[in-house]
Amino acid sequence: MNAGNTLRTLILACLALLLPALAMAAEPARKLANTDCVMCHAKPPADIEAKGGKHKTAVGCQDCHEGHPPTVKHPIPQCSKCHEGKPHYKLDKCLGCHKNPHMPKVISFGRDITDPCLTCHSQQIAQLKEFRSKHSALTCSYCHDVHGKIPNCTQCHKSHSADIVQADCKKCHKAHQPKNVVYGNDTNSKFCAACHKKAYDLLVASKAKHRALLCVTCHQTKHKTVPKCQDCHGIPHPAGILAKFPRCGECHGIAHDLNNWTVPGKPAAKPVAEPKKEEKKHPKKK
């Protein structure tokens, strides 16, 4: 084979390789689909499928990643492309909380985070400051180490009594103001008995009508509310008795043991009826 034939063969071979490539380049690029992304990137689609939020239901891969290298130099967009102007986007770095953009609502923290939480949860910090307690000294992430997590009170606190369970705590206590004890008017007296056992035991042993009442009947709505007897009983006795015994406790025991008249050092004993005087008979005439 002479040199001319060899050169011609080489040229034809190069053309055979180049022409299909040139033809492909001339065609418009096929638009990528989510199914194309999965072939190389298995984890992000799996994360989105599991806990993607609106990233699963409202957008696809190409809505955020507009192209692929080398066609596009920076395929990873800024969060502000879609999430601009929201109140909690005052923070400098979105990924400080949203560590995985494919699972944006799975947010975990260290143990000493507070300030970022305040951009959304201002009401909670206001309660912690107004109603001071040991909770006020804690960081938000001490309890809420994962966003949206509400821990059980019993993780840190012992129950007041064996028959009070985790679900009962919130009937009296609010996590961000635990010492501001507020309860409903149907609260079971067993909750009160856990701390006020002496008063409860006196009440259930009493034979007075108070025995049939719930604790909250008298101690309404707010803890440490102590009503006046007159709030329910008005003026129960004639003016003469009230003039001599102006305070209810001078005759009655405490409200939990109302008819106890004889406890030493307590209210005066129940008055005893005076003996009848003997009538003097008129002397008989002699």
Assign 71 a pLDDT band (cuts: 50, 70, 90).
confident
In a domain, 121, yes or no: no
Contact residues for 123 (Cβ-Cβ < 8 A; gap 6+): none
In a domain, 84, yes or no: yes
Q: Which residue has the higher pLDDT, 31 or 185?
A: 185
In a domain, 195, yes or no: yes
In a domain, 66, yes or no: yes
In a domain, 106, yes or no: no
In a domain, 18, yes or no: no
In a domain, 86, yes or no: yes
Assign 27 a pLDDT band (cuts: 50, 70, 90).
low
pLDDT of residue 213: 94
- The region, left, alpha or beta by phi > 0 then psi within -120 to 50, assigned to residue 108 is beta
* 108-115 LR contacts (CB < 8 Å, sep 24+): 108/145, 108/146, 108/147, 109/140, 109/141, 109/144, 109/145, 109/146, 109/147, 110/141, 110/145, 111/139, 111/141, 111/142, 111/145, 112/139, 112/141, 112/142, 113/139, 113/140, 113/141, 114/139, 114/140, 114/141
Report how many domains make up the chain: 2
pLDDT of residue 193: 93
Among 96, 112, 130, the domain boundary falls at 96
Among 96, 112, 134, the domain boundary falls at 96
Domain range for 87 is 40-96
pLDDT of residue 269: 46
Among 57, 75, 96, the domain boundary falls at 96
In a domain, 54, yes or no: yes
Assign 276 a pLDDT band (cuts: 50, 70, 90).
low
Contact residues for 150 (Cβ-Cβ < 8 A; gap 6+): 144, 175
pLDDT single digits (tens) 199-234: 999 999 998 899 999 999 999 878 888 899 999 999
Cβ-based burial of 203 (10 A; exposed 0-12, middle 13-18, buried ≥19): buried
Q: Which residue has the higher pLDDT, 4 or 92?
A: 92
pLDDT of residue 35: 85
pLDDT single digits (tens) 248-271: 888 887 889 887 765 444 544 444
- As a whole-number percent, the residues of the chain with pLDDT over 90 amount to 35
Contact residues for 132 (Cβ-Cβ < 8 A; gap 6+): 179
